[in-house]
Structure 1
Amino acid sequence: MIDPTALRDKPTLSGERVRLVPLTEEHAEALFEATRNDEIRRLTGTHRRWSREEVRQWCRERARQPDRVDLAIVDRPGNRFVGELSLMEVDAANESAAYRISLSGIEFTGQGLGKEATRLMLRYAFERIRLHRVWLEVFAFNMRAIATYRACGFTVEGRLRDALLWEGRRHDALLMAALEHDFRTADG
């Protein structure tokens, strides 16, 4: 049975190179800039252009959401905003939730920051919230993200054909999930 207080109480999770902190309005400007990055928009399949005020409002509301966890990723020791992640669409009856992560710029990829952040969040999901399954969708062209998810214990469960239309081309999305046992095996 999941622990709903673990969804209401927004944690701070610390690793060697990143800290996950509650997403708040202080992160709004950096998050807004990330939404303007064309490569990040492509990797996340984000067609919508968010206004600065919409991003500010989104960040302001995250701490009050009792059914999800939204955290900012900040690097250590610099304390720079490098992205954000969420556990959402929590299905308490099936002990399952969706996961998403987005780094705020290509300069933060390839350094292991996303992998460390994902592992921190999965540990929280399985140990504190007591989920059994965490799932995500990733576009099939995002090979770096797929490799990171595999390293964290995610397995491909299916393919959503032509899920994204981007600049006139259609792309598949992969459905991946990590079960508690998969994560513990991958986390060593």
Structure 2
Amino acid sequence: MIDATALAEKPVLHGTRIQLVPLSPRHAAAFHATFQDPDVRRLTGTHHDWTLAELQDWCNQAAGRTDRLDLAIEDRETGEYLGELALSQIDKDNASGSFRISLAAHATGHGLGSEAIRLLLDHAFDRVGLHRVQLEVFPFNPRAQRAYEKCGFEVDGRLREALFWEGEWHDVLVMSALALRRR
């Protein structure tokens, strides 16, 4: 059974090297800088050119959202912004939700994304009560796909030519993790 109030709570989740903290206006500038990187934009399929003001507004509203959870990924020692992730599109009747993550370019390749994903999945399954969490990833991002698989995600299917990027169509892989299969 889903505990819908768990989405209104904005937890701090501690890992070995990172912590997930509520996304707030203090993260907006680093969040904005991350999405100025062309590779980050390509790997996340981000077409919209977010302004700093838009992201400040988004981060400011994050604490009041009761239908989703937006968290910043920080270095546990220094508090440095490493990225952000979200649990959204919650379907209470079917105990499912969607997940996304983006890491700053300097934070990739160190296992920090996998640590963040595990922390969020533990919260989604154990505290929120979800049964299934799904995500979308592009086949041209095999590093992310491997990280998702290490965290218990499996490919469910393919959305053919669902992303138009720089003049070419790309497929999107749909992956999911199930509460019972993760353990």
TM-score, structure 2 normalization:
0.98
Measured against aligned partners, the alpha-carbon deviations of 1:77-96 in whole angstroms (never above 9, x if no partner) come to 12110000000000000000
2:156 corresponding residue in structure 1: 157
Residue identity matched to 2:119: L
CA contact (8 A) 1:122 1:183 kept: no
1:17 corresponding residue in structure 2: 17
Distance 2:123 2:80 in 1: 22
1:177 corresponding residue in structure 2: 176
SS at match of 1:145: helix
Consecutive unaligned residues of structure 1, counting only runs of 5 or more, are: none
The alignment status of 1:114 with 2:107, answered yes or no, reads no
Residues 22-41 of structure 1 aligned to structure 2 (within 5 Å): 22-41=22-41
Instruction: Detail structure 1 runs of 4+ shifted over 4 Å in the superposition.
Output: none
Measured against aligned partners, the alpha-carbon deviations of 1:108-151 in whole angstroms (never above 9, x if no partner) come to 11100000000000000000001000000001110000000000
1:93 corresponding residue in structure 2: 93
Shift, 1:76, TM fit: 2.2
2:140 corresponding residue in structure 1: 141
Distance 1:151 1:142 in 2: 15
What number of residue pairs does the alignment pair up? Answer: 183
Shift, 1:4, TM fit: 1.2
Residue identity matched to 1:55: L
SS at match of 1:124: helix
SS at match of 2:93: helix
Shift, 1:98, TM fit: 0.2
Shift, 1:14, TM fit: 0.3
Distance 1:84 1:97 in 2: 17
Q: Pairwise CA RMSD of aligned residues?
A: 0.7
- State, as a whole percentage, how many aligned pairs show the same letter: 52
CA contact (8 A) 1:97 1:131 kept: yes
SS at match of 1:153: coil
Consecutive unaligned residues of structure 2, counting only runs of 5 or more, are: none
SS at match of 1:94: coil
Shift, 1:170, TM fit: 1.3
2:80 corresponding residue in structure 1: 80
